[in-house]
Amino acid sequence: MINYPNKKKSTSQKLSSTANRGMGLELMINNTNDFYLDNDLAVVYKKPIPIQIVSVDYKARSAAKIVEAYYKLPSTTDYNGIYKGKYIDFEAKETKSKTSFPIKNIHEHQVLHLDKVKRHGAISFIIVYFSLLGRIFFLDSDYVYKFYHRSKSGSKSISLKEFEEFGHEIIEGYRKPVDYLKIIDEYYLKAPQK
């Protein structure tokens, strides 16, 4: 996932319905999680990027400098936390396609992780941002699992129509750009959000 913290609004994203949609998805989700945290609604964090550290320069003890390191494949998903006693786990992805989301953007072990935590009682899902359409969808891990397996012999993508049919569109709020708790309240907990 690519983060564009400095691109608040760009001319190439005219289709975005509002200013927030010009941000990268990661920043929008981080802002949303900050709002949840500040208002004590939920505690959800993005995990750090896993790095294999090879060499560190300890010249200055107060600021050890890593001079050789490599990106590692993440074992799990990007986000997890707790909401109303429920363990929450999700992965977030952007696509520039206007018609479908390529399944290969999610690693197999992430699909399996989402399925595993679900079986242990989690609410697990993916959030997909069609950046050129300015539309964001919440898709339960059951469907992610199903479409992932379909991709072995059939379509390699989840179509926009399938997101519309099986997912839930996340409608943007100003202070909660990706208000996924609203979906969880409505479709998982059946209680209105505070």
Secondary element (H or E) of residue 71: strand 65-71
Other CB atoms within a 10 A radius of the CB of residue 26 amount to 21
Q: Please, are residues 94 and 101 in contact by the beta-carbon 8 Å criterion?
A: no
83-102 residues near its own copies, rule: CB under 8 A: 83-87, 89
Question: 140 - beta bridge partners?
Answer: 125
Least CB distance to its own copies at residue 40 (A) = 8
Q: Are 147 and 177 in contact (CB under 8 A)?
A: no
Q: Is 191 in the site for its own copies (CB under 8 A)?
A: no
Min CB(84)–its own copies separation in Å: 7
By CB under 8 A, residue 34 contacts its own copies: no
> Least separation, in Å, of the C-beta of 104 and its own copies?
17
Kindly state the tokens that stand for 145: 């699992």
According to CB under 8 A, which one of 10, 75, 99, 155 is a site residue for its own copies? 75
Residue 80 engages its own copies in binding (rule: CB under 8 A): yes
